[in-house]
Amino acid sequence: MRWKNLIGQIGIFFLGFCGSLYVALTPANSMMNWYSIDDAFYYYKVAQNVLSGYGFSFDQINLTNGFHPLWMIICLCVFGLSKVNLLLPLRVLILVSGTLNGLTGVFLYGLLKKYLHPAAAVLGAVVWMMLPSVYNTTAVHGMEAIISAFFLVLFLSQCVNLIQSPSQSKSKRILSLLLAGLLASLFILSRLDNVFVAFVVGMFLILRVQRMNRLLVFDMVAILIAAILAWIMRFGANPNTLNTYSMYPLLLIGLLTKPVILFFMGFYSPSIKDSLLKFILRLGISSLLFVGVEFLLQLLLRNLGFNLLVSRSVILLDAIVSIALIGLLRLFYFPKQSVSQIPSSPWQSFRNWLKRDLGRIFADGLVFAAPVILIIGTYLGINKLLFGTFAPVSGQIKAWWGVLSNTVYTETHTLVDLLGLSPSSGNGPWSLLTSPIAKISLAIVNFDGPETKALPTRLFLSLTLIIFILLVFLLSRKNGLLARKSFTLLVPALIIGCFLQITNYTARSYAHTRFWYWIVESFVLVLLGAIFSSYFFEKLRSWTKSEVTNLVLLMLGTFLVIFLHTRFILNLSPQYVAPEHEDDYLLAIRELEKYTDEGSLIGMTGGGTTAYFIQNRTIVNLDGLINSAEYFQAMKTGTAGEFLDKLPLDYVYGKPYALYETEPYAEIFADRLEPVGFIHGGEAFTLYKYISVR
């Protein structure tokens, strides 16, 4: 059996690695299609400069911390090869990504096979490694997403195994908790916004949450639906509201506070037997508490600097709809069921829980948190000492963009975007699911009418709601069998962490979120898919009394994913490139070199790829994402022009609209740009001579 397991793991690893191996060996112009994201080269140029003795700097002048640290460490191990050939480290990094992708699949398979049908474990790992919509987000582009996914699986596996093994010896449990804390730290250093997921999963671990009251699950669904309905009833599709505020703070506060209020009001305690009048009275008191707590928390968050709408009417509507749905659930859906085993009053249960578990929780929490506090605290301290700011400047700048009234980095939102359901991978955290729903919606609309590419919002939202309700229904079937499996794999913890992460962005008016931000959200959907497929495989086995049918279906499913993956890879990086097109990726850069002097400082909004490949010239990042904290302060205070004068900047290379008409560039470059000419290339940029006013 060990040999079979080893062979299976090697096979899974190879499937996750082979696509990267192919791309790494393709001609340069094909291989560069892997690196279609300019942001990736922010890492590479900084790593190159560090290894050349310039410190953590993109332009060899200004120190920057606009990157996630763990991926930078990987890049520092690779980009010494750039001294040999600029393309060599790019090919090696593709192989590194493929290795991490294959290992992620192996560890995911190891996690899933302990709790799901073996066929579902294999299929889940293969889908995560190879499905184009996932692979294009995690492995392709050379970003930190691949190492984030790797440590997500390792951290989750450790926490799941700990929760499922509560009887470990004290010394072994301490070591296991320390390892979980270490993996949490590495997960956070992979992408700093992973802190929200790490926090919630860690809480589930420390509290040993292994199940959830079935009625509580339905209450949370009711709370979610109520918040959405309240917002729509109050604002509808008002563009001003949609483009200014997020619904997620309302959703998150409701999901975190309302179940607690319901618990202490006795709605999960079967020992409380009410008359209808007392039941209605408790509902009324609960609704008042909903309004008060939500209003106070929203005021607090707004005073702390979060950009959220504190609307009394929305809060009131939310409370009314929530309590109505929660009351209906108890009156009609659960009239005779006792879904809780709590024998006493909620307050007594809470006191008993504190007496029984508080000491253990505190001890476990301290052990788990120790590596996180030490490692992340050290990282933040180093940031402050070296760069003058605790957090990466790139995140601060994107939050600042969100408060500007006219910038190229913000987008117009629809109700679909506001709900986080956009089928666009950049805007939609759950696009792995909503993208196919959008395609189905368009197919239905276009079936017997004039063809349109506009998303039919009502149909799309209706189908999404139906699928969501079906998902909840299936999870509750067989006395919550699938729900228990999802709890075993900590899916609820991941979902809560995702809500915290999304709220962090939307409540701060964070601009320009990108598709690689939503790794955990995609992972949650793949996990749920594996859980449902496991149930399907188990039912087939019980029907057929054999695994043959399951094996055939597994092979068909795997071959389908392999086919889609192979087609994606071949389209991404063709093996043959005509000789005259071998260096197309350098055309605009070589033309830029032609019109600028050696030794020039050239300002760009972005500029990662250009900075890496341009010869004898230096690119200065103007958007600030990979520039210094001092430059960010200069942009905010309106002194960025003086900052650039001191360098001194020689040229500016960008799009006229962005430079002349949008914030903050219109103010920075007013009367400072003299056109040189249009540069032919994919970005259609114009080159300007920079005029210093010193």
pLDDT tens for each residue of 222-238: 999 999 899 888 887 67
Higher pLDDT among residues 347 and 571, named by residue: 571
Which residues are CB-contacts of 384 (< 8 A; sequence separation ≥ 6)? 390
Phi and psi torsions of 621, nearest 5°: -75, 120
Structure token pair of residue 295: 């209003």
Q: How far apart are CA 534 and CA 513, in angstroms?
A: 34
Q: Average pLDDT of the chain?
A: 90
Per-residue pLDDT at 340: 43
Please state the rounded mean pLDDT for residues 635-658: 94
Which residues are CB-contacts of 163 (< 8 A; sequence separation ≥ 6)? 204, 205, 208, 209, 210, 490
Using CA atoms, how far residue 627 sits from 276, 492, 615, 630, 685, in Å, is 64, 38, 20, 8, 21
**Pairing label, strands 686-690, 673-678:** antiparallel
Core vs surface per residue 360-372: b (16+ CB within 10 A) or e: ebeebbebbbebb
Structure token pair of residue 48: 């190159």
What's the angle, vertex CA 573, arms to CA 569 and CA 574, rounded to 5? 105
Which residues are CB-contacts of 692 (< 8 A; sequence separation ≥ 6)? 644, 645, 648, 649, 672
Each residue's pLDDT tens digit, 499-542: 999 988 887 778 888 889 999 999 999 999 999 999 999 988 88
Per-residue pLDDT at 214: 76
Q: How far apart are CA 154 and CA 150, in angstroms?
A: 7
Residue 620 pairs with which residues in a beta bridge? 603
- Strand order across the 618-621 sheet: 618-621, 601-604, 651-654, 686-690, 673-678
CB atoms within 10 A of CB 426: 14
Per-residue pLDDT at 335: 43
Structure token pair of residue 690: 């920079």
Structure token pair of residue 79: 């980009």
Cα four-point dihedral sign 135, 499, 326, 462 = negative
Q: How far apart are CA 392 and CA 481, in angstroms?
A: 43
Q: How far apart are CA 549 and CA 537, in angstroms?
A: 9
CB 325 within 8 A of CB 349: no
Q: Which residue has the tokens 């292994």?
A: 210
Per-residue pLDDT at 341: 47
Domain spans of the chain, in order of start: 2-35+66-208+362-412+478-572, 214-339, 584-690
* pLDDT higher than threshold 90 for residue 168: no
Q: Which residue has the tokens 């005509």?
A: 578
CB atoms within 10 A of CB 542: 8
* pLDDT higher than threshold 70 for residue 339: no
Per-residue pLDDT at 246: 81
CB 189 within 8 A of CB 73: no
Structure token pair of residue 141: 């582009």
CB 402 within 8 A of CB 660: no
Higher pLDDT among residues 368 and 576, named by residue: 368
Each residue's pLDDT tens digit, 250-309: 888 999 999 999 998 888 876 556 677 888 898 899 999 999 999 999 999 888 877 777
Band (pLDDT 50/70/90 cuts) for residue 213 is confident
pTM here is 0.93
Per-residue pLDDT at 1: 59
Per-residue pLDDT at 248: 85
* pLDDT higher than threshold 60 for residue 338: no
Please state the rounded mean pLDDT for residues 345-358: 85
Q: What is the DSSP string of 616-682?
A: S-EEEESSSTTS-HHHHHHHHHT-HHHHHHHTT--EEEE-HHHHHHSTTHHHHTTTTEEEEEEPPST
Using CA atoms, how far residue 221 sits from 217, 254, 469, 541, in Å, is 6, 11, 9, 32
Q: Which residue has the tokens 């992972």?
A: 523
Q: What is the DSSP string of 412-479?
A: ---HHHHTT--SSTTT-TTHHHHHHHHHHHHHHHHHSS----S--HHHHHHHHHHHHHHHHHHHHHHH
Percentage of the chain lying above the pLDDT 90 cut:
63
Please state the rounded mean pLDDT for residues 21-31: 95
Structure token pair of residue 265: 């009001």
At 687, which helix (H) or strand (E)?
strand 686-690
- SS3 for 568-580, per residue? HHHHHCCCCCCHH
* pLDDT higher than threshold 70 for residue 131: yes
Q: How far apart are CA 219 and CA 676, in angstroms?
A: 63
* pLDDT higher than threshold 70 for residue 46: yes
Average the pLDDT over each of 114-118, 319-323, 331-335 and give the range with the smallest value.
331-335
* pLDDT higher than threshold 60 for residue 554: yes
Please state the rounded mean pLDDT for residues 151-178: 92
Using CA atoms, how far residue 113 sits from 4, 97, 123, 152, 201, in Å, is 14, 24, 11, 17, 20
CB 457 within 8 A of CB 416: yes
How many residues are present in the chain? 694
Average the pLDDT over each of 10-14, 245-249, 563-567, 609-613 and give the range with the smallest value.
245-249
What's the angle, vertex CA 390, arms to CA 389 and CA 391, rounded to 5? 95
Residue 652 pairs with which residues in a beta bridge? 603, 688
Per-residue pLDDT at 271: 58
% helix / strand / coil in the chain, to the nearest 5?
A: 70, 5, 25
Q: How far apart are CA 160 and CA 489, in angstroms?
A: 6
Amino acid at 133: S
CB atoms within 10 A of CB 469: 12
Please state the rounded mean pLDDT for residues 471-478: 78
Of 523, 505, 305, nearest to 420 (Cα)?
A: 505
Q: How far apart are CA 58 and CA 340, in angstroms?
A: 58
Higher pLDDT among residues 66 and 693, named by residue: 66
Q: How far apart are CA 204 and CA 163, in angstroms?
A: 8
Using CA atoms, how far residue 533 sits from 105, 422, 558, in Å, is 17, 25, 13
Q: How far apart are CA 614 and CA 609, in angstroms?
A: 8
Structure token pair of residue 450: 């004039």
Which residues are CB-contacts of 261 (< 8 A; sequence separation ≥ 6)? 286, 289, 290, 293
Structure token pair of residue 331: 């009156």
Higher pLDDT among residues 351 and 193, named by residue: 193
Please state the rounded mean pLDDT for residues 646-657: 94
CB atoms within 10 A of CB 449: 8
Q: How far apart are CA 424 and CA 442, in angstroms?
A: 14
Q: Which residue has the tokens 């994402």?
A: 625
C-alpha dihedral (530, 535, 538, 542), degrees to nearest 10: -160
Q: How far apart are CA 93 and CA 260, in angstroms?
A: 47
Band (pLDDT 50/70/90 cuts) for residue 342 is very low
* pLDDT higher than threshold 80 for residue 186: yes
Per-residue pLDDT at 2: 73
Amino acid at 395: G
Of these ranges, 4-13, 132-141, 346-355, the one predicted with the greatest mean pLDDT is: 132-141
